[in-house]
């Protein structure tokens, strides 16, 4: 019988145990050795001869002293990286993410953890689409731009925060000539937000009344130093009454704190 199914080895051969003063028969002895052979044949040998034929319940104990895995099918040691070609995790689907502090893996959320074609995604970092020498980097259909509409009159110095809008529309009549200051935001300069060799284009729509005014100074990051402004045709010296004047500025960073601004003025009546 050998092992009883719970790990205990039992000698159940007829004639066992032997009795003092009696003759041990060959039948009883041979049955005993056969029983021992059967029991030893079901044990795991330490030199690797045995092929395990069933699951080994470790009852919470560890397998220690494992060598580093080298081929597919080897057991992993603690903290040992593994090449995973197929991973099935319960009923999770889509993109799986870790929480950064433990081994917990959960399903990612489209639009938050990854980009999905059918779910709106808000990017908070600059995305770069390289394309190639033969393929354009992006194709946009029905693209929108952010417009800030404000019942404000153009006058003084107007800070244009490029990171929060592409168009500013002042709906109140201008009251004086003004300076436009192009910057990334109140806390970030365009010099920081842009790299040399990049440009950005924005528009400023200014409502004019019976007395018209115009943009007479263009700044970048609060200064005209390092800023070269070139106007389409000529720099404006007057506004257009009872109209909307559209100013377009293309800011090109040509070096550290050095910009060329290509500007134009159009009248809409």
Q: Summarize pLDDT for 207-228 with one digit per residue, the tens.
A: 999 999 999 999 999 999 999 9
Report, as ranges of residue numbers, the positions in the chain whose pLDDT lies below 70: 1, 12, 82-90, 92-93, 102-103
Q: What pLDDT was estimated at residue 43?
A: 83
The pLDDT of residue 231: 98
For residue 246, what are the β-bridge partners? 205, 266
pLDDT tens digits, one per residue of 6-48: 878 777 677 777 888 888 888 888 887 888 887 788 888 888 8
Contact 64, 34 (CB under 8 A): no
The confidence score (pLDDT) of residue 32 equals 79
Per DSSP, the residues of 227-261 read: EEEEESSS---S--TTSEEEEEEEEEEEETTEEEE
Whole-angstrom distance, CA of residue 259 vs CA of residue 229: 8
- Start-to-end CA distance of the chain, whole Å, equals 106
Distance CA 268, CA 263 (A): 17
Say whether 217 sits in a helix, a strand or coil.
strand
Q: How far apart are CA 84 and CA 87, in angstroms?
A: 7
Domains of the chain: 1-60 (no CATH), 147-268 (2.60.120)
Can you give the pLDDT at residue 164? 96
- The one-character DSSP state at 143 is -
């Amino acid at each position: 019988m050998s092992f009883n199914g719970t790990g205990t080895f039992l000698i159940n051969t007829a004639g066992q145990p032997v009795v003092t003063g009696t003759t041990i028969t060959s039948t009883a002895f041979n049955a005993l050795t056969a029983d021992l052979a059967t029991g030893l044949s079901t044990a795991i040998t330490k030199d690797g001869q045995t092929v395990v034929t069933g699951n080994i319940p470790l009852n919470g104990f560890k397998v220690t002293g494992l060598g580093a895995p080298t081929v597919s099918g080897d057991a992993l040691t603690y903290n040992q990286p593994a090449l995973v070609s197929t991973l099935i995790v319960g009923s999770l689907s889509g993109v799986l993410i870790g929480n950064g502090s433990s081994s917990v893996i959960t399903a990612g959320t489209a639009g938050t953890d990854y980009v999905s074609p059918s779910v709106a995604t808000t990017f908070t970092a600059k995305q770069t689409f390289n394309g190639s020498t033969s393929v354009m980097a992006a194709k946009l259909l029905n693209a929108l731009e952010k417009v800030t509409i404000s019942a404000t009159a153009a006058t003084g110095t107007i800070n244009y925060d490029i990171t929060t809008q592409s168009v500013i529309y002042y709906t109140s009549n201008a009251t004086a000539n003004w300076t436009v200051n192009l910057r990334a935001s109140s806390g970030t300069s365009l010099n920081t937000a842009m790299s040399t060799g990049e440009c950005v284009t924005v528009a400023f729509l200014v409502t004019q009344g019976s007395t018209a005014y115009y943009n007479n100074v263009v700044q970048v990051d609060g200064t005209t130093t390092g800023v070269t402004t070139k106007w389409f045709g000529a720099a404006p010296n007057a506004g257009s009454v009872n109209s909307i004047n559209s100013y377009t500025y293309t800011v090109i960073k040509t070096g550290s704190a050095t910009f060329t601004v290509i500007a134009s003025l159009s009248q809409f009546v």
